[in-house]
Amino acid sequence: MTPTPDWHLVVPVKGGASAKSRLHPPTGVGREALALALATDCLTACCAGMPPARVLVVTSDERVAQMARGLDARVVADPGAGLNAAVRAGRDAALADGPSLPVAALLGDLPALRAEDLTAALGAAAAYPLAVVPDAAGEGTVLLTALTGAELVPSFGAGSAARHEAAGHQRLELELPRLRTDVDDDADLQDVLALGVGAATRRALEQSATTLPPMQGSVHSFDETTGAGSALLDDGREVTFTREVFAASALRHLRVGQRLSLDLTGEREVSKLWIVGIGDDQRIG
């Protein structure tokens, strides 16, 4: 069965520095860049599988928005109140085209997705007023559909497939691993790599061979509570480091002005920091 011709597809994409915080990319690959690549491959497949004007990308990140516009998709502002609020915002924008249009919501982190996978899933969903396609584990939701878009009420999050089913969505256990494998952590990334990912994700991962040489700088700011901070490089640039990077440094604290050595990725993100003379297994008080 082919999908009805007027599906509108809502794809929420977080983007930015906080995206995919559970991912630990290879050295030289920025997490933010990888997250953008995952979304790019997913949206490229979506826009190949249906008219791009009916793909609504909900985001607050300008890089994601620019990428989506480059694919001729529509961009909807993310209200910033979580995934379900983002889906509702996209749904409402879609319904502005017609109150009874069919609307689907798809996760934006499906880098192995192909256009034919989306076509097959929407075709199957078109047989039911409400439908849900669970993720590969059978617990989360990758695709949620409603033939009457106003009836699309998202409840994404842990265990969402069961919640959506309880709310009346027909559960569709489709043999579409490329559509059902989303990326939240390192194990998921390995799973989609085995399936085969799109060009953007492949290019992003190839950056692992392009780590920049160590840089020198000084602590510019440091939050004792979160462990995150920033450094001012000797060339005048300010770069930030996450609490995960600080935790991996084996340092207990930092003070403003303290000299540091830093490894940067190709995206100018700090991947490692240390003080000369303090090794990986040493600590300072």
* DSSP-assigned beta bridge partners for residue 130: 146
Q: Which of 37-46, 55-64, 172-181, 249-258 has the lowest mean pLDDT?
A: 249-258
Residue-range domains of the chain with CATH: 8-205 (3.90.550.10), 211-274 (2.40.50.140)
The predicted model gives 85-98 an average pLDDT of 96
* pLDDT value at residue 280: 43
* pLDDT value at residue 284: 37
Mean pLDDT of the chain: 88
pLDDT score of 35 more than 70: yes
Is the model's pTM score more than 0.85? no
Residues 169, 173, 176: CA angle, nearest 5 degrees: 125
Is 157 one of the annotated binding-site residues? yes
* pLDDT value at residue 186: 84
pLDDT tens readout for residues 237-251:
888 888 888 888 888
Is 141 one of the annotated binding-site residues? yes
Q: Among residues of the chain, what percentage have pLDDT more than 70?
A: 88
Burial class (CB in 10 A: 0-12, 13-18, 19+), 276: exposed
**DSSP-assigned states of every residue in 54-90:** GEEEEES-HHHHHHHHHTT-EEEE--SS-HHHHHHHH
Is 44 one of the annotated binding-site residues? no
* pLDDT value at residue 34: 87
pLDDT score of 285 more than 50: no
* DSSP-assigned beta bridge partners for residue 229: 222, 241
